[in-house]
Structure 1
Amino acid sequence: MLLVVDVGNTNIVVGVYEGNILKNSFRIGTDINKTSDEYGAIIAQLFLIDSISFSSIEDVIISSVVPEVMHSLENFVMKYIQKTPMIIGPGIKTGINIKYENPSQVGADRIVNAVAGVEKYGVPLILIDFGTATTFCYINAKGEYLGGAITPGIKISSEALFQRASKLHKVEIIETTEVIGRNTTTALQAGIFFGYVGMVDNIVEKMIEESGEENVKVVATGGLSSLIISETKNVSIVDKNLTLEGLKMIYEKNKQSK
């Protein structure tokens, strides 16, 4: 079995592949203060759901945008699984030609998504990842990663509003049917939901216009992707496991040289 780990600013997503089948995936809160033993205990408990043991894990690949977590995670893998994990970074083959001005600045998660997106959906392609930040990535018809846009995620944007506006209370982020809210709660929900939908459509449309390319596929992933794209004009595909699949694909490209 292959353990794939995607470390984000808010959550760590852990997946276990048996061959090409994703047996299960789990979300753990990202915490830079957790020790390797604490991560080991949490993941061991989650593995019990599917009767998975550490001894059944043959290899591990990790993608991370939180460097402070990596020491504990790497130690967890070496101590409990007794493997040296493959880490997404310099020297790892991805097959993606990165045209960013400074390729080292591209988040590991964005590259992993690009690998899976190109493999599964072809090019040209826009990938939207709804995480702590919402990222928009453009891969052109030549398969080149050109770059994209980064915006605050819907949850942190909402939290900032609730914290700074004393008379506005926290609300559940839901899909609303009307943009004219009749009370503070529905007004907040309408503004957050339709405001984000409008932002997504506008950025996608401008990316396509700027690229000059046709038949651009638009794929969304991440926790709130299903909610937001329900109302968008330009996003038709939601792939919640895109990052995990990308990690598996990169592992396959690199395992022979490991």
Structure 2
Amino acid sequence: MLLLFDVGNTHTVAGFTEDGTNFVKWRLATHKFETEDELFVILKSLLDNNKITFSHIDSVVIASVVPPVNYIFQRFSEKYLGIKNLWVEASDGLGIKWNVKNPTEIGADRVANVLGAAKMCDDAIILDCGTAITIDVLMAGCYEGGAILPGLMTAAHSLFEKTAKLPQIDLYTPKNCVGKDTAENIRIGIVRGTAHALNGLVEEVKNCFKNKPTIFLTGGQSKILETLIQCDLKDADLTLKGMYIYWQKKCTSCS
């Protein structure tokens, strides 16, 4: 059984899988634990409730975009599992050509998303909505790059912190395009505005290539945007699936 950690700036998804298709998973606050022992206590309680033990774990795969916490996961695996982690990164031997200036700059989550999408099609545009929103472009099996936007909550917090009178609000999909109060104004601007930006960028990308890409939507905030985004596939587990594929490819290349 594989233990997968998708470590994001706000949340960490811990997932268990045997086949790369079905996952037992939990979302944890990334900064809730500060040591490997705290991470162990949290995971053990979750595992016990699902009748999974640490002895079931054969490998640990990590896609992290938060370098300051990486040592926690490293120590956890070594101390409690006796396993060396496999860290996701853009590299050769994955069946993808990384057509960018510096592949090492590509976020591990984005690498996993590309691998997950490439399993299903050769041409894809992947929208991952989290603390930051990333757009990744895969054409004819070649990663062509992408774009990064502020995430929904990031934009909301920025308005709250940088303005004197605008309140902090909860976010959900607004039904109207014209707000009748301040909260609705902010919600429309952030949610609908971001959706229009994403749809517009996707159209520009599609116009740059002759291929007809499949549009994927994933990420923790994707539920808020899903009715406003023009996409073909919604897959909340795309990153975890890509991490499993990364493990498969790396294990094959080493054997």
**What range is the shorter-chain TM-score in?**
over 0.9
> Quick one: which amino acid aligns to residue 182 of structure 1?
K
Superposed displacement of residue 94, structure 1:
2.1
> Quick one: which amino acid aligns to residue 247 of structure 1?
M
- Of the candidates 227, 232, 245, which is equivalent to residue 230 of structure 1? 227
- Which stretch has the larger CA shift, 81-90 or 69-78? 81-90
Give the length in aligned residue pairs.
Answer: 254
> Quick one: which amino acid aligns to residue 221 of structure 1?
T
- Of the candidates 235, 246, 252, which is equivalent to residue 250 of structure 1? 246
Distance 1:20 1:235, change over 3 A: closer
The percentage of counterpart residues that share the same residue type is 30
User: Partners in 1 of 2:145 and 2:42 — Cα distance?
Assistant: 36
What residue is the counterpart of 2:47 in the other structure? 47
User: Partners in 2 of 1:154 and 1:139 — Cα distance?
Assistant: 24
Indicate conservation of the 8 Å contact 1:118/1:143, yes or no.
yes
Scaled by the length of structure 2, the TM-score of the pair is 0.94
Scaled by the length of structure 1, the TM-score of the pair is 0.93
Distance 1:97 1:214, change over 3 A: closer
Indicate conservation of the 8 Å contact 1:93/1:250, yes or no.
no
Distance 1:63 1:245, change over 3 A: same
Indicate conservation of the 8 Å contact 1:98/1:146, yes or no.
yes
What residue is the counterpart of 2:100 in the other structure? 100
1:21-76 CA-partner distances (Å, limit 9, x unpaired): 53411111112971111111111112122111111111111111111111111110
Indicate conservation of the 8 Å contact 1:92/1:254, yes or no.
no
Q: Which runs of 5+ in 2 are unaligned?
A: none
- Of the candidates 218, 235, 242, which is equivalent to residue 239 of structure 1? 235
Distance 1:90 1:168, change over 3 A: closer
Indicate conservation of the 8 Å contact 1:3/1:16, yes or no.
yes
Superposed displacement of residue 90, structure 1:
6.6
User: Partners in 2 of 1:33 and 1:20 — Cα distance?
Assistant: 26
> Quick one: which amino acid aligns to residue 11 of structure 2?
N
> In the alignment, does 2:124 pair up with 1:154?
no
What residue is the counterpart of 1:123 in the other structure? 122
Indicate conservation of the 8 Å contact 2:90/2:98, yes or no.
no
User: Partners in 2 of 1:192 and 1:150 — Cα distance?
Assistant: 15
RMSD across aligned C-alpha pairs, in angstroms?
1.7
Match runs of 1:1-258 below 5 Å: 1-31=1-31, 34-89=34-89, 93-120=93-120, 122-140=121-139, 142-211=140-209, 213-232=210-229, 234-256=230-252, 257=254
User: Partners in 1 of 2:82 and 2:206 — Cα distance?
Assistant: 46
Q: Which runs of 5+ in 1 are unaligned?
A: none
User: Partners in 2 of 1:100 and 1:28 — Cα distance?
Assistant: 32
